[in-house]
Structure 1
Amino acid sequence: MVKIVRRKVTSPEAQLLLKEIQKTPYIVGYSYKEWREAENIRVAEDSHGNLMGVSLNIDFGKNWTKIAVLYVREANRGRGIGKRLFYSAFEEAIARKRHVYTISSNPMVIKMMADLEFTTFSSLLNFPKAYQSERRLIYIHMLAWLANLYRIKEMMRKHWIYDEEEQFIYGIHRSSSR
């Protein structure tokens, strides 16, 4: 049985996430402090309350939510947990009348973006014409996100370890009520 709940992560869970996410080439991640302070997290739990996966969602600007991390622990992959977490995060943001923004190189996440009718693009330099009015806000958010010593170190470390140039896809979904 898998249950998706919105809650903060515990200190041991934050340490576990930090350690495991550092081993994946596709997620830059967040620091221990950021995990502990984050308010908008969905956790996939088993029947004993053990963490199986997470979705970290960050509100920014007046009406935007970023699905910032979607991570399923290796032993739990292939069971639809990531999809349930992503859809839960998306539906909650839309219910709050927020636009949704995400980035991924994971083919499963890119497919979910397509299924949910996100507008996708391959570079911040090719920002969709329909979203030009929001471009500045997204750029400011991205710069603030990048201006973090933990992420800078992780990006450099992962570049040297994995030496892969993954194609990240950006996705935007505008809330229909705005």
Structure 2
Amino acid sequence: MLVSHDIDEALKLGDHIAVFRQGRIVQCASPDELLAKPANEFVGSFVGQDRTLKRLLLVSAGDVTDQQPTLTVRESTSAAEAFATMDDHDIRAITVVDNAGKPLGFVKRREARNAAGRCADLLHPFRITGKAEDNLRVVLSKLYESNTSWMPIVDEEGRYNGEISQDYIADYLSSGRTRRVLNIHSDA
């Protein structure tokens, strides 16, 4: 147990944080839940107006990709089939994976429209990838450094875990979802 008046220190070190006011606990929660859902105005003020940005260090890319649909095609998939998938789901690009599920690149919807051949013929390599365990601060940094709006996220073996975008991050952070709510938080 650690007693601190420094919320940043508590967020870094604590598994659970109890916020006291006048000798009573007003909220006890995981760091992510405390930032995502302050119990009242006092707690919100204590954790700070930048609480959403503080969550960038607590939420992993995998937490966000787990909430998104995962659509992929293979190199051998026809351009027409890839286009139909992108058109059905109203997406601008689709990830191409190999037989082991590792991302090879992506195909653009506008290029697949009326194209003959396979996805391998239209493949654009990824400039960057992220890891499922990367926190959102690292992910956003990579996105901004490469001046791109989305990238694939891979697991420990390099297999495609999903994609992450600036919009997906904003949606996740503004939704109030937390790791605990998603049953990802471990009390071990």
TM-score higher than 0.5 here?
no
| TM-score class, shorter | under 0.3
- For normalisation by structure 1, the TM-score amounts to 0.25
- For normalisation by structure 2, the TM-score amounts to 0.24
Considering fraction of residues, name the structure with more helix.
1
